[in-house]
Amino acid sequence: MIVGQGIAAVLAAAGLLVTAIPAAHADTATVSAASEVTPGAETDTPSLVTDLNEPVAATGSAADAARGHLKAKKSRYHIADPAGDLKVVDTQAEGGRETVRLQQKYKGVTVMGGEYVVRMEKKSGKRAVTGTSGKFFTELKLDTITPKVSEKTAIERAVSAVGSQLGGGLMKAPAKGEKPGGQQLTGTAEGVTILPQGTGVLTRQITVTGVSPVDGQPVKQQVYIDAHSGFPVMQYSDIKTFGATGTGAAGTDETGIAPEAASTAASDQLVVKGTGTRYDGEKVELNLYKNTKGQLQTIDYGRRDADDSPYEGPMLVTYDARGREVASASGNWPTGVQPFSPATPELGEEYTNSGAVDAHWAAGKVYDYYKNHFDRKGLDGNDGFIYSLVGVVQNGQPYNNAFWDGQKMVYGQGGGDFRTFSADTDVVGHEMTHGVVEHTANLVYAGQSGAMNEALADYFGNAIDLEANNVSMDDPDAGLLGEDLCTTLSPRDCALRDLNDGKTTSKDFIGVTYRGDNGGVHLNSTIFSGALWDMRQDLGGELADQIVYRALSAYMTPLDGFTEGRAAVIAAAQELGVTKAQLNTVKRSFDAHGIVPGWEKALGVDTDLIQSKVNIANTGVGAGGGKYAVSNSNEDGSEPYSVWMGNTSGKGTPQLMSSNNGDYNVYADTDGKTVVWAQYSSTGIRIMARPVKGGLAKVIDSIGSDVSGLVVDGDYVAYTAFNPQFGVTNVRYVNMKTGEIALVDGGRPYNISGLPSIKDGKIAYARIAPDASGNYTLGVQVFDGATGAKTDMPVADSTKTAGIGQTAITDDGVFWIEDNDATDTGQSAVRRANVDGSNPLTLAPESGAGSMYAYSLTASDDAVTVTDLPPATDWANVTLPKLVQLTPDGSGTAQRVSCNRGDQAYATADEGQRVLWLDGTTGYTNLVKRDRPAGLC
C-alpha cells in the first residue's frame, strides 16, 4: 500500500493559531503498490508505503541498502539523489528488523521535518525492504542558501520576539536599582534551516534561553528568522513539561557530566546495594555507588549486560538539585550540582521527602521497561547516560512541574498539595519517554505533532507505572496520570490528566496559538493518547505496547499529525501480524476519538468568516472606518507576508496593498483612509503607508531595530520600537503631513513606553520612568501631536502600580488596563478617563465580581472589547484568551463576544460593536467577526 502526501500546511501555521501540524494531510490518497503516487502540493514522495518485499544488497550497511532502494525506485519515491539529499540520522536493528532514518538536505542545508524512514528485514543472508514512511519535500526550489541577514541581527530579532511573547499584556517596572530591559534572555545561532513551505523558506535557527521576565520560568525557545528579511516566522518552546505550563557549569566537565561519575570504570564492585522508602511507603532496593573518597552516591551502574565493557551500558545518575532555580536547570547544569550522597546504604526519610528515592528507583524501572519489552538500550538507544535533577524551585518557591530539556529530567520540589514531582512513576516514565521520542520520531513539540509527543509520553509513562507498581488496567484509576503526586487529595482529584477522559476531535479539540500550550500539546494530547489507551485495554498491554512502540520507532516522523499518527499505528499493527479482528480494534479506537481523515472540517463556530487559513505569525490585524488590514501569505505559507485590505462587512474582494518583493510586510493597521505596515528587509525595517482610495505606497519612516504595534489615525502613525542600546521600548510617531518623526517620551535612557493608540492627533501610551531616587513609576500618558503637551491619566498610584496594559483612545476618552496588586493571581482592572484626565471610571474591577484577567483591549465609540486571559495552571478551553465586551460608560453587563472554542486573539474594534479577531477554533487561523456580542456562554 502506498499513501501519498497531502498538503503540508503545518509550517504555514507555525507561530499562528494553527495547531494542525499538519492538519491537511487528512486528504491523503490510497492506491495500490504498483500505481503512481498522487502528488501533493509540496512533495511527490509517498508518506507511507507498506506490504513490500523488495530485495536489496545483503552486504554493506543498512543505510547504504536503504538509500540504494530509494534510488532504484526513483519513479515511486521521486528522490533524485538519495546519497546526496539524505543524511543518515539513525540505524536501529531489532532482531531481524532494520530501521534507517534519513534527514533531508537541500544543497547541504537541513530541511525541518524532512525525514524519511526505510524499514527492512534481514534474515538467512538476505535483506529486503518491507516499507517506508515520512516526508521528503520535492518541490523545494531556492535560488540561494546564503542568508542576507547576519547572525547578530537574527539573534537580536529572535530575543526580541521571545521577550515580546513572554512579556504578557502588561508593561511592568523593574525593582529599584535594576535597569529595565533585563530580560535575561540570550540567543545562540544553530545554523541555517529550510522550512518546507511551498518552494522553501530559508531561515536562521536561533535557540533563545534564559529566564522569563514575568514568572521566572525557564525559557528555551526555537525561533526561525527569515534569512532574507529578518522577520521571525516561527517560534515555539522546546521544554517538554509534564504539566501544561548551555555549557557545563562549575562542578562538571565539558560534557556536563559529574567528573568522577564519567571517568569511573564500571564493574560489579561499583554497585552498592542500598534501600530506600518511596513516598507510598514501599521499601525498595536501590543501586548506589561508592566513589574513590568512600562516599555513597545515587549512581546506578547495576543495569549493564554481563558482557558490557567498562564504558558500555547505562549509567543512571540522580542529582541533588534542591533549592536550585528551575531556570538554571533548563538546558544547563546548575553550578556544582552533585548526586545525592547518603551516609549509609539505607536511605532515610530525607531521601524519601526530597524525591530522591522515587526518582532513582523509577528511572531504573523505566530503563528496564524499554530494555525488557523492546530491547531498547536507554533513551537514545545506545545506552547513553541518564540524568535526573530532583528538587528545583521557582523564584525560591515550590515548582509544581517536571520536564525533559533534551539532556535530562528535571523534577520540581513541589508544594501545597503536591509532593516532589518524581513521586509518581508515570511522571518519571513520561519525562524519560520524551527522551525516547526525541531519539526516534523526534515529533516537533508544537501543535498536533507536539500533542502526539505528549500523548506517547503519557501512554508509555502510564504503562510503565502500571507494570512497576503491579496495577491492573481494570483498576478504575489506571488511566490517571500524576495521581500519586498529592499529599491529601484523592488520586482522581490530584491527577493532571486521564487517559479515559473520552475526549474526541469534534467535541474537545482546542485551536490555540503557540503562545498557549505550544499550540495545544497538553490540551489536545488525550484525544490521541485516549485512542491508544482504548486499544491497550482491548488488545492487552503487551501487544498494544509493541504496536505503539513500532509505530513510534519505525513509522512516525517529526511533522506527523493525528491522521498520520493513526496511519502509523495501523501500519505497525499490520506489520506485527495482528488478526483482522485486532486490526479492526485498532481502527475502532481511533474512530471513537474522532481521529479520521477530514476530522478538522467538523469543528463548528458562531462567527462570520472574513478570511480562512490566514498565515500570519503574530502580526495581528487592524480595523477602522469599515475596513480591515491584515498580513497574509499564500496557503502553503511559502511566500513572505503581504498586506491585504478588505471590508469588515466581509463583502467584496480583498485588495493587495503592499508589494510582493520578498520582504515581510507585517503589523498592518488602518483607519479606513490609510493602511500602514512595517516592511522587514535585510537592510532594516521601513514603515509604509498607502491610501485606501488608491495611490502608491510610500516610506514614511525607517529603523534598524524591531518594531510592533503600528496604529494610524488621520495624519499620525505611531508604533513601538525596540531600543537595543538600553534594552527598552519607546513609542515613536510620524506626522505624515509634516514629516515630523520623534519619540513621545523623549528617548531619555531607561524611559520606557509602549502599547500605543491614536485618535485625532493624540497618542495614548503606557509609560515607565525613573524618578530622582531611582524608583520607577508606571502610568498612562496622552501626547498631543499638535502642541507637544503631555497629560497624565489618573492611575491609582503610580509608585505602586504593578503593571500597565494596552491603551485605546476614542472620542469618548482614554481606556487602559491597570494592575495595582502584584500579589493577586493576575487580575487587572479596566479603567477610563477623559482625554484631559478628568472623570476617571473603573469599567471592570481588579478583584471581586466582574474582575478579569485583562490581557489586552480595543475600543470603538460604542464598545470596549477586552481579551480575558486567565493563568493556565490547568490548560483548558476556559484558560484560553476569550473576548469580553463592556460599555464605554461602565453601564450594562459584560458579555462574551463569541462562544467559540479555542483561541480568540488580536481583537480589533471597528465601528459600533463590531469586532474582528483571529480565531483558532477550527485548528486553522481564521479572520472572523461578530457585529454584536454573543452574550453569556
For 670-707, the pLDDT digits (tens) are 999 999 999 999 888 999 999 999 899 999 999 988 89
pLDDT for residue 255: 33
For 361-414, the pLDDT digits (tens) are 999 999 999 999 999 999 999 888 899 999 999 889 999 999 998 889 999 998
- Tell me the pLDDT band of 305, cut-offs 50, 70 and 90: low
Instruction: Check whether 564 has a pLDDT greater than 60.
Output: yes
pLDDT for residue 163: 78
Percent above pLDDT 70 for the chain: 88
Nearest to 153 by CA among 646, 681, 623, 634: 681
Lookup result for grid cell 522587514: 680
Instruction: Check whether 264 has a pLDDT greater than 70.
Output: no
Q: What is the mean pLDDT of residues 310-327?
A: 81
Percent above pLDDT 90 for the chain: 64
pLDDT for residue 758: 97
- Tell me the pLDDT band of 246, cut-offs 50, 70 and 90: very low
Q: What mean pLDDT, rounded, does the chain reach?
A: 86
pLDDT for residue 34: 24
Nearest to 255 by CA among 267, 246, 244: 246
Nearest to 133 by CA among 438, 527, 529, 553: 553
For 133-160, the pLDDT digits (tens) are 999 999 999 988 999 999 999 998 898 8
Residue predicted with more confidence, 498 or 329: 498
User: Do you find a cis peptide bond into 82, omega within 30 degrees of 0?
Assistant: no
For 28-86, the pLDDT digits (tens) are 222 222 222 222 336 889 999 999 999 999 999 999 999 999 999 999 999 999 999 99
Instruction: Check whether 18 has a pLDDT greater than 50.
Output: no
For 212-231, the pLDDT digits (tens) are 766 667 888 899 999 999 99
Q: Which residues contact 749 (CB under 8 A, 6 or more apart)?
A: 726
Write out the E strands in 165-293.
Answer: 185-195, 201-211, 218-226, 232-237, 240-241, 272-277, 283-290
List C-alpha distances in Å: 242 to 273, 297, 357, 432, 832: 31, 27, 19, 11, 41
pLDDT for residue 33: 27
pLDDT for residue 8: 34
Residues catalogued as catalytic: 431, 522
Q: What is the mean pLDDT of residues 613-619?
A: 73
Weakest mean pLDDT among 306-320, 454-468, 819-833, 917-931 = 306-320
AA letter at 719: Y
pLDDT for residue 639: 81
Does the pTM exceed 0.85?
no
pLDDT for residue 10: 37
pLDDT for residue 510: 87
Instruction: Check whether 638 has a pLDDT greater than 50.
Output: yes
Of how many residues is the chain composed? 937
**Domains recognised in the chain with CATH numbers:** 2-134 (no CATH), 151-238 (3.10.450), 242-423 (3.10.170.10)
